[in-house]
Structures are given as structure tokens and as C-alpha cells.
Amino acid sequence: MSKKLVAYFSASGVTAKVAETLAEAIGADIFEIEPK
């Protein structure tokens, strides 16, 4: 488990792809923020 976290919200999927790329590049965990 990493001490780095990329948390993101993406309505269209573009931000999700950027967040995934960033998390992989820096070795971070990733978390998608989902509206209720």
C-alpha cells in the first residue's frame, strides 16, 4: 500500500484516464469519487 493517493471524479472518462496514468507514474493508489 502506498502513502500516495490520486482521488478523482470523472463524468466523461477523460479525467479517469489522466488519473490512472498519473497514479501509475508516481506509484500511487487510486480512488474514484462517485456521486450518491
How far apart are the C-alpha atoms of 20 and 11, rounded to whole Å?
Answer: 15
At 1-36, the pLDDT tens digits run 669 999 999 999 999 999 999 999 999 999 999 999
pLDDT of res. 7: 98
Q: What is the pLDDT of residue 2?
A: 64
Query: Helices marked H in 1-36 — which ranges?
Result: 14-26
Instruction: Please tell me the distance from the alpha carbon of residue 28 to that of residue 36, in angstroms, as a whole number.
Output: 25
What's the grid cell of residue 30?
487510486
Q: Tell me the residue length of the chain.
A: 36
Residue 10 and residue 19 in contact, taking contact as beta carbons nearer than 8 Å: yes
- The pLDDT, as a whole number, for residue 20 is 98
